[in-house]
């Protein structure tokens, strides 16, 4: 109603003497849609004070017609639609109905009044509404709003809106001018509008057609850059997820030589830990719900690391140097973990909500929006990678892990507790898998089968990057993510997966050590 009141005020200030006539009110309310729309468009430039009130009543299905008059009926009150004075409703009055097309036109009329609102968000929404059914009749109010607009972004949108209105006019010179103005746009809706002009019978002037085609080429070129950037971003996003999933495996498999088929289930545990923390915040700290993720990160790490420590101490420590037995044992453990989760949380997927600050996205181009949750995961993957690299390269624990990996007997001889280091290293890899599960919970549903979707890809990343080489894991994850998304646009998702797998098989045949090679226990075995 704020926009309605503003439009009435604008109308009264710009032309206070003008009043809606009985014939005009009836023409807008009765007859076929084309005639009603034409009557509506004729009235818009006149700034009738009663027009927005009548339009709102039509949208509310509160208008009835009888003879050559229209009436507004609300709360048992009957008013003359033209004058607003009390009236008596004739017995033969009929309801006015509006289809989708007519409703769109009526909403556009109300949106015109919001173009001068002091609220930027209201003006932006009005521009979007008018753009759906813009025409030459709305030019006076668009020009008035353009002259008063101070926001640079909305000013550009209004200029495009004006060009669209001119494009639908009868003057060929103005249509050419409009087409040339729209050439600077990078909006898919503008592209669709210009393409409609080239359909059979819509645009008849040859010179206008030439300018429209030039504008379409220019817009298509700009949109193509948005599409390319979108593919690159989705590839980096997928690569960051693969990196998180593979970093833990780079320790348990790359550094320790353990083929851990339960790695995906450790990710699942991290995701369910995030779900549990979310529920605790919703129940006991609803006011701080948007920050539950800060508690979920360490919780997911600790939950997965604890399970990893138990697995290493009870099963895996007895299977070092026996890869086939390790594979079979961890595969059985993965089934046990999945069934345990089904028993605790149910077989159905559970929903983990994004915090408010991770919802929505950043609009870079008209056809490119970068979701905040994906940006957060990319940043999170970078922080985890940095932390893990510093831990392995700069800390005492990292020194012990590297010494045990490279020469276990010598490390034991100088006093390193190799069994303890094995447990700590495996727990670290499991904890990082839990962090990956926490991140994955922000981009999809969490279920017992979550880890199964990433275990194969994780192994491919580690093997392609080079066993035991963290830098290779980074390059392989990002490369496979971008390569996979590029192929998806060409072949589709299923064939892209197959082609990526074929590429890795061929690559490993030619270079078994992967992108990078490092001497370690797995390499010496």
Over 37-60, what HEC string results?
A: HHHHHHHHHHCCCCHHHHHHHHHC
Strand partners, 65: 70, 94
Confidence label for 143 from pLDDT (cuts 50, 70 and 90):
confident
Q: Rounded CA gap, 321 and 312, in Å?
A: 14
By C-alpha distance, which of 378, 355, 345 is closest to 271?
Answer: 345
Which 3 state secondary structure label does DSSP give 258? coil
What integer pLDDT is reported at residue 18 of this predicted model?
56
Query: How many Å is the maximal CA-CA distance in the chain?
Result: 106
What integer pLDDT is reported at residue 291 of this predicted model?
92
| Mean pLDDT of all residues in 468-496 | 82
What integer pLDDT is reported at residue 331 of this predicted model?
92
| Mean pLDDT of all residues in 266-277 | 94
Contact (CB, 8 A) for 109 and 44: yes
Can you list the positions of beta strands (E) in 246-365? 361-365
Place of tokens 């919703």: 282
Domain ranges in the chain with CATH number 1.10.3470:
226-355+391-524
This prediction's pTM: 0.69
| Mean pLDDT of all residues in 196-212 | 82
Q: Which residue has the higher pLDDT, 45 or 207?
A: 207
What integer pLDDT is reported at residue 16 of this predicted model?
45
Burial 111-128 (b: 16+ CB within 10 A, else e): bbbbbbbeeeebbbebbe
43: left (phi over 0), alpha (psi -120 to 50) or beta: alpha
Judge whether residue 462 has pLDDT over 90: no
Q: Rounded CA gap, 470 and 468, in Å?
A: 6
By C-alpha distance, which of 457, 464, 458, 455 is closest to 517?
Answer: 464
Strand partners, 370: 362
Q: If DSSP states are collapsed to H, E and C, what string results for 81-117? A: CCCCCECCCCCCCEECCCCHHHHHHHHHHHHHHHHHC
Percent of the chain with pLDDT strictly greater than 90: 19
Can you list the positions of beta strands (E) in 278-411? 361-365, 368-371
Can you list the positions of beta strands (E) in 129-254? none
Judge whether residue 196 has pLDDT over 90: no
The residues near 464 (Cβ < 8 Å, ≥ 6 apart) are 472, 476, 479, 480, 504, 507, 508, 514, 515
Confidence label for 468 from pLDDT (cuts 50, 70 and 90):
low
Contact (CB, 8 A) for 289 and 355: yes
Strand partners, 6: none
Place of tokens 């060009």: 163
The residues near 32 (Cβ < 8 Å, ≥ 6 apart) are none
- Distance set, CA 393 to CA 190, 387, 407 (Å): 54, 10, 17
| Mean pLDDT of all residues in 256-285 | 91
- Distance set, CA 205 to CA 171, 172, 198 (Å): 10, 7, 10
What integer pLDDT is reported at residue 119 of this predicted model?
86
The residues near 495 (Cβ < 8 Å, ≥ 6 apart) are 487
Confidence label for 434 from pLDDT (cuts 50, 70 and 90):
very high
Judge whether residue 61 has pLDDT over 80: yes
Judge whether residue 326 has pLDDT over 70: yes
| Positive or negative torsion for Cα 409, 414, 415, 421 | negative
Model confidence pLDDT, tens digit, residues 391-430: 888 888 888 887 887 777 888 888 888 888 888 989 998 9
Judge whether residue 384 has pLDDT over 80: yes
Judge whether residue 249 has pLDDT over 70: yes
Judge whether residue 515 has pLDDT over 60: yes
The residues near 88 (Cβ < 8 Å, ≥ 6 apart) are 78
Phi, psi of 449 (to 5 degrees): -95, 10
Would you identify the CATH topology of the domain 226-355+391-524?
ABC transporter involved in vitamin B12 uptake, BtuC (1.10.3470)
Judge whether residue 17 has pLDDT over 70: no
Q: Rounded CA gap, 245 and 258, in Å?
A: 16
DSSP symbols for 125-165? HHHHHHHTT--GGGHHHHHHHHHH---HHHHHHHHHHHHHH
Contact (CB, 8 A) for 451 and 261: no
Judge whether residue 438 has pLDDT over 70: yes
Contact (CB, 8 A) for 252 and 258: yes
Q: What is the mean pLDDT of the chain?
A: 83
């Amino acid at each position: 109603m704020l926009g309605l009141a503003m439009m009435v005020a604008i109308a009264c200030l710009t032309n206070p003497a003008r009043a809606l006539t009985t014939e005009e009110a009836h023409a807008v309310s009765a007859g076929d849609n084309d005639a009603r729309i034409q009557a509506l468009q004729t009235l818009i430039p006149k700034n009738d004070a009663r027009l927005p009130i009548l339009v709102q009543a039509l949208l509310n299905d509160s208008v009835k017609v009888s003879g050559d008059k229209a009436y507004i009926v609300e709360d048992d009150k009957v008013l003359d639609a033209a004058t607003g004075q009390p009236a008596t409703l004739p017995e033969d009055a009929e309801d006015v109905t509006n289809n989708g097309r007519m409703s769109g036109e009526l909403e556009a009329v109300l949106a015109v009044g919001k173009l001068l609102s002091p609220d930027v968000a209201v003006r932006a929404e009005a521009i979007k509404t008018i753009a759906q059914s813009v025409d030459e009749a709305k030019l006076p109010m668009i020009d008035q709003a353009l002259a008063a607009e101070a926001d640079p972004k909305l000013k550009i949108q209004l200029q495009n809106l004006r060009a669209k209105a001119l494009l639908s006019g009868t003057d060929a010179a103005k249509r050419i001018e409009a087409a040339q103005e729209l050439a600077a746009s990078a909006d898919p809706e503008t592209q669709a509008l210009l393409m409609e002009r080239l359909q059979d019978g819509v645009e008849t002037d040859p010179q206008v057609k030439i300018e429209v085609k030039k504008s379409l080429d220019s817009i298509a070129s700009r949109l193509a850059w948005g599409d390319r950037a979108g593919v690159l971003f989705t590839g980096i996003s997928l690569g960051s997820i693969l990196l998180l999933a593979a970093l833990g495996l780079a320790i348990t498999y790359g550094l320790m030589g353990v083929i851990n088929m339960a790695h995906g289930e450790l990710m699942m545990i991290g995701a369910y830990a995030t779900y549990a923390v979310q529920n605790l915040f919703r129940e006991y700290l609803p006011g701080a719900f948007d920050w539950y993720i800060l508690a979920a990160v360490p919780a997911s790490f600790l939950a997965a690391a604890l399970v990893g420590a138990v697995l290493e101490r009870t099963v895996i420590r007895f299977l070092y140097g026996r890869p086939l037995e390790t594979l079979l044992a961890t595969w059985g453990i993965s089934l046990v973990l999945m069934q345990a989760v089904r028993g605790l949380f149910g077989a159905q997927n559970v929903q983990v909500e994004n915090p408010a600050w991770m919802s929505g996205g950043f609009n870079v181009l008209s056809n490119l929006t970068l979701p905040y949750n994906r940006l957060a995961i990319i940043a999170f993957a970078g922080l985890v990678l940095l932390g893990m690299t510093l831990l392995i390269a700069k800390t005492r624990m990292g020194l012990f892990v590297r010494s045990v990996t490279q020469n276990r007997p010598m490390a034991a001889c100088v006093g390193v507790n190799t069994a303890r280091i094995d447990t700590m290293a495996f727990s670290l890899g499991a904890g990082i898998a839990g962090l990956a599960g926490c991140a994955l919970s922000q981009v999809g549903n969490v279920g017992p089968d979550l880890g199964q979707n990433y275990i194969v890809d994780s192994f491919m990343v580690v093997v392609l990057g080079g066993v035991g080489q963290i830098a290779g894991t980074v390059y392989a994850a990002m490369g496979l993510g971008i390569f996979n998304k590029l192929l998806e646009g060409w072949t589709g998702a299923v064939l892209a997966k197959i082609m990526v797998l074929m590429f890795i098989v061929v690559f490993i045949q030619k270079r078994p050590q992967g992108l990078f090679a490092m001497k370690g226990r797995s390499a010496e075995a």
